[in-house]
Amino acid sequence: MGVAITGMGIISAIGHSVEENKTSLLASKTGIGDLRHIQTNHSQAIKVGEVSLSNAELTRQLQLPEVHNYTRTGLLGLLAATAALENANIPDCSTYRTGFISSTTVGGMDMTEKYIKQFDKDITAQKYIATHHAGDSTRKIADALRIHGLVTTISTACSSAANAIMLGTRLIKAGKLDRVVVGGTDALSKFTINGFKTLMIQSDSLCAPFDAHRNGLNLGEAAAYLVLESDAVVQKEKKEVLAYLSGYGNANDAFHQTASSENGEGAFLAMQKALKTAKLNPNQIDYIIAHGTATTNNDLSESRALERIFDKQIPDFSSTKSLTGHTLAAAGVVEAVFSILALQEQYIFPNLNFKTPMPETGLKPITSGVKKEIQHVLSNSFGFGGNCSTLIFSKA
């Protein structure tokens, strides 16, 4: 059946809890809008999926001391990871062998970009010298959760969190851990906004995944975590299982540093491997939460890969990035939470802003939310560097 998922936590542009995210998803309410927390010349030219809480508000909510050196990446991560453990009803991580596997692309960049020119003299800025690296937020969250053993960070661009979930699953299956908190966190930064700007794949309006006239992505920020537990722990503790992680696959497109291949080879291989580990046939997949960034390149490449795997019988699919924006490292786990909600609610979430099918494939995503019997959800995450990962979630 796979590995049991017994808890989840999330903070995104569409809500600060699982409940709020679910409400927005069921109401087709997007979180994409104008940028508020970052000073940039591009603020009028982009739309983003920003978490509405400021760092000061997050600090208060987390009951941290006023003076600390958490980056925004760390604050978002701590909020979501704490919520995931609460949801799994785990007050104490020392009872079982527990690990923490996080992921991020920019790490502490949100503070580095603010303070780098003050690092030499300004004592108040210097506390952020040590917070730049990707492992900093992970270590802080692990310490706060009192997880001391297996703690790590994966950074494979936009497939990072999917790989974190995959590693946690493999460690549980191999018997190296009893419990593991897996996921990722990424805060918006001027660095990323300008980076995607230079690539000219950032839309100035609301993104339209899989649409013929799509003109790029909306960046977002989020953090989300799942709690995975071994069958032995689930039985012993009589845990309620939210869903099972039944399949996973990781492959490389080996085509270009940033662009996806025309036939979506990496995506195809990742989905193929995931179906194989889940021991499922393509026709058993009821719903796909696509990577669907709304860039010209990704959506066509992913569509081609879907056509190849599902042989023109493509299941219902949608990209929820039209609600949350592209949350980079966190995307894989944000969409994992949505996959689990889809299984729990037996509901397909809408792909907003879609009007016209792209001429190359004619594929139409689901554009308004709909009830459906769902046993298995497939979720894709692809990144720079050709990193492609697929996860399959199955009904508990």
Partner 1 sequence: MKKVYIHSAVTISAQDTFDSDGFLNEIKGLSGKTVAARYPNYKDYITPANLRRMAEGVKMGVSAASKALKDAEITQPDAIITGTGMGCIDDTEKFLNAIISNDEQFLTPTAFIQSTHNTVGAQIALGLKCKAYNNTYSQAALSFEWALMDAQLLLQQEEAENVLVGGYEELGKEIISYRRMMEDADGLGIQVPYSEGASFFVVSSEKTEHSVELIDMEVYSSISTESIQDSLKQFLTKNDVDLSEIDVFISGRNGDVFDSYYDLTAELFENITQLHYKHLSGEFYTASPFGLWAAYEILYRQEIPEAMIFKGEIKSDNHIILLYNQFKGRDHSFILLKR
Q: Which residues are identified as catalytic?
A: 158, 291, 326
Closest CB to partner 1 among 161 and 242?
A: 161
Least distance from partner 1 to the Cβ atom of residue 134, Å = 4
Q: Cα 307 vs. chain centroid, distance in angstroms?
A: 24
* CA atoms of 380 and 370, how far apart (whole Å): 21
The owner of tokens 């690092």 is 119
Contact with partner 1 (CB under 8 A): which of 143, 240, 262, 360?
Answer: 143
Residues 6+ apart with CB under 8 A from 172: 3, 178, 179, 180, 228, 229, 230
176 binds partner 1 (CB under 8 A): yes
Crossing angle between the packed helical segments 296-310 and 265-278, to the nearest 10 degrees: 40
Q: What's the closest the beta carbon of residue 23 comes to partner 1, in angstroms?
A: 34
Show the binding pattern over residues 269-298: x = contacts partner 1 (CB under 8 A), - = does not: x-----------------------------
| DSSP per-residue string spanning 264-327 | -HHHHHHHHHHHHHHT--GGG--EEE------HHHHHHHHHHHHHHHTT-PPEEE-THHHH-B-
Report the site for partner 1 in 149-168 (rule: CB under 8 A). Answer: 149-157, 163, 167
Q: Which of 18, 35, 171, 305 binds partner 1 (CB under 8 A)?
A: 171
Pick the piece of the chain touching partner 1 (CB under 8 A) from 14-22, 63-71, 192-200, 368-376.
Answer: 192-200
CB of 208 vs partner 1, minimal distance in Å? 23
In the DSSP assignment, the letter for residue 165 is H
Q: What is the nearest approach in angstroms of partner 1 to the Cβ of residue 328? A: 10
Among 94, 124, 198, 313, binds partner 1 (CB under 8 A): 198
- Residue 276 carries which side chain, given as an amino acid letter? K
Residue of 138, 202, 353, 361 that binds partner 1 (CB under 8 A): 138
Q: CA-based angle 374:362:386, to the nearest 5?
A: 75
In Å, how far are 201, 241, 322 from 211, measured between CA atoms?
Answer: 15, 36, 11
Token digits of residue 4: 């049991």
Stretch that binds partner 1, among 78-86, 140-148, 286-294, 342-350 (CB under 8 A): 140-148
62, 64, 144, 199: which one contacts partner 1 (CB under 8 A)? 199
Write the CA distances from 75 to 51, 84, 249, 290, 320, integer angstroms: 11, 14, 30, 28, 23
Q: CA-CA distance, 169 to 99, in Å (whole number)?
A: 11
| Of the candidates 313, 293, 268, the residue with the CA atom closest to the CA atom of residue 353 | 293
Which of 37, 68, 139, 308 forms a contact with partner 1 (CB under 8 A)?
139
**CB burial of residue 174 (10 Å; 0-12, 13-18, 19+):** exposed
Dihedral sign for Cα 315, 385, 171, 221, please: negative
Looking at 4-12, 39-47, 180-188, 336-344, which segment touches partner 1 (CB under 8 A)? 39-47
Indicate the DSSP class of residue 241: P
Amino acid at the residue 65: P
What track of x and - describes contact with partner 1 for positions 103 through 122 (by CB under 8 A)?
--x-x-x--xx--xx-xx--
Report the amino acid identity of residue 302: E
Stretch that binds partner 1, among 8-16, 35-43, 66-74, 232-240 (CB under 8 A): 35-43
- Minimum CB separation of residue 47 from partner 1 in Å reads 17
Query: Least Å distance between CB 126 and partner 1?
Result: 7
Which x/- pattern over 234-263 shows residues binding partner 1 (rule: CB under 8 A)?
----------------xxxxxxxxx-----
Query: Across-strand partners of 224?
Result: 10, 184
Q: Candidates 71-79, 88-96, 179-187, 378-386 — which segment interacts with partner 1 by CB under 8 A? A: 378-386
Residue 154 C-beta: closest distance to partner 1, Å: 6
Positions that interact with partner 1 (CB under 8 A): 40-42, 100, 105, 107, 109, 112-113, 116-117, 119-120, 126, 129-130, 132-136, 138-139, 142-143, 147-157, 163, 167, 170-171, 173-174, 176, 190-191, 194-195, 197-199, 250-258, 265-266, 269, 383-387
